[in-house]
Chains A and B, each alone.
Chain A
Amino acid sequence: DQQVKQNSPSLSVQEGRISILNCDYTNSMFDYFLWYKKYPAEGPTFLISISSIKDKNEDGRFTVFLNKSAKHLSLHIVPSQPGDSAVYFCAASSSGNTPLVFGKGTRLSVIA
């Protein structure tokens, strides 16, 4: 049973436009959510996170939105750049006492 779902395996966006990556979760005990970025043949790197007590967290071009009632979060990248092309993983945790649960990832391609 997949507790964290990224239903879009891939996304293609024009340079300069907004990229929106979506993630849904089923476990209502999750209280911390993270996004990771992964280039081919490299380990994922932490990008941005959000606690369940917030509904928005912003860091430069990256903003994560959390809708707890819908059990949905999204990552917005504005403006998108070619260097943003990577696989993005959504992850969730429950009070830091269990390992992160990852989604299957969304491959973002930013076209120049």
Chain B
Amino acid sequence: SQTIHQWPATLVQPVGSPLSLECTVEGTSNPNLYWYRQAAGRGLQLLFYSVGIGQISSEVPQNLSASRPQDRQFILSSKKLLLSDSGFYLCAWSWTDYEQYFGPGTRLTVT
């Protein structure tokens, strides 16, 4: 069976500090991978998605970036965090763009 891991579960970072969130998927190969952010009252906002190694599509302009160095690894990064980057970050995978399966999420608080 497939499992998806995210870490860390919670993170408190000062404004201006860098960010690296990691997501890995087990039990499947060549999945589509996604990063979402859930901010208060704003639903699920798609940030990035990837259909293969090194292939990243950005949905929303921001100071975040994503990379996929390996088939089942998806990393969300920032060089300098803003207060507005606070939120609940979710990684997801799918074989198609139908059912997506989400990880447990990372709660990021920028202070």
Contacts and interface: CB of A to CB of B under 8 A. Distances in A.
B74 interface: no
Contacts, number: 53
Interface stretch (B12-20, B40-48, B63-71): B40-48
Interface in A88-112: 89, 93, 96-105
A90 to B, nearest CB: 10
B96 interface: yes
A21 interface: no
A-side interface mostly: loop
A46 B105 contact: no
A64 to B, nearest CB: 14
29 contacts: A36-B102, A41-B88, A41-B107, A42-B104, A42-B105, A43-B90, A43-B104, A43-B105, A44-B44, A45-B102, A46-B99, A46-B101, A49-B98, A49-B99, A93-B97, A93-B98, A96-B97, A96-B98, A97-B97, A99-B34, A99-B46, A99-B49, A100-B46, A100-B98, A100-B100, A101-B46, A102-B44, A104-B41, A105-B43
